[in-house]
Amino acid sequence: MLLLQFSTSHYCRKARLGLGYKHLSYQVENLAPGLHALKLKPLTGMTTLPVLLPQQPGQPESVGDSTRIFHFLDRYQAEPALGLSDAQQNAEVWAIEDWFDESIGVAARFVYYDFRAGEGKQVDPSLASQAMIRVVRWQYGIHQVSVELARERLERAIAFLGHRWSSAGSGRAGYLVGDRLTAADLAAAALLSPLALIPTYRQQYPWLFDRIRQIHEICQEPLPPGLS
């Protein structure tokens, strides 16, 4: 299998967590931002990464979108499953996965690039990096008001995770749904990982980053910047 990705994308990290959780072997190809669209449009009809190429007879040529990749992986290899067998719990897994994918991952992107353009400029002050950040801010409409809304969204998501993940003295790590890791936990761990570089989040929510670290270790995925 080949995973087409941007090396720094948290959505591509999410796909890698799924592949790693299933112990599947795969290779990655890093695409150059901008030129990526030329390669992807004919393959998936979209321009976003990650895209998985199963490269096996009887399998689709390409699977675009990290949520579709998770569902594909469950069809391709049932165990360990990313969903749950109880129908109600399974519906909750995929609803939370979708919330993180469509809303919280976007909010994390807004807050991360706002940080990188200001207080976190020293992470990479090079002209090339700052130019790339300006393009991303323009492309996604990242400005003061949208960043403020994104911060509020992140606070609500972290409070939710606090109830389900935080072991708060019990010595036991929790799960978002049921009694084992699912697509919901993997999505949350990947899509909040950009916050690991932002000191205020690190100081305020140490348990969050402990859990993100544990999930990466279980999925045999290198830790995100800030945790490595």
Ligand X SMILES: N[C@@H](CCC(=O)N[C@@H](CS)C(=O)NCC(=O)O)C(=O)O
Interface residue list for ligand X (CB under 6 A): 6, 9, 11, 37, 47-50, 65-67, 101
φ, ψ for residue 51, nearest 5 deg: -130, 130
Q: Based on CB atoms, which residue is closest to ligand X, 47 or 167?
A: 47
Q: Least separation, in Å, of the C-beta of 40 and ligand X?
A: 8
What span, in angstroms and rounded, lies between the C-alpha atoms of 183 and 186? 5
What span, in angstroms and rounded, lies between the C-alpha atoms of 94 and 82? 9
Q: Least separation, in Å, of the C-beta of 112 and ligand X?
A: 10
Q: Least separation, in Å, of the C-beta of 123 and ligand X?
A: 17
Q: Based on CB atoms, which residue is closest to ligand X, 14 or 166?
A: 14
Structure tokens at 64: 């675009």
Q: Based on CB atoms, which residue is closest to ligand X, 166 or 195?
A: 195
**Other CB atoms within 10 Å distance of the CB of residue 122:** 7
Q: Least separation, in Å, of the C-beta of 64 and ligand X?
A: 7
Alpha helices in the chain (DSSP H): 10-21, 36-44, 66-76, 87-99, 105-117, 127-140, 144-164, 183-191, 199-204, 206-218
DSSP type of residue 137: H
Q: Based on CB atoms, which residue is closest to ligand X, 106 or 223?
A: 106
Q: Based on CB atoms, which residue is closest to ligand X, 64 or 84?
A: 64
Q: Least separation, in Å, of the C-beta of 30 and ligand X?
A: 12
Rg for the chain, CA atoms, rounded: 17
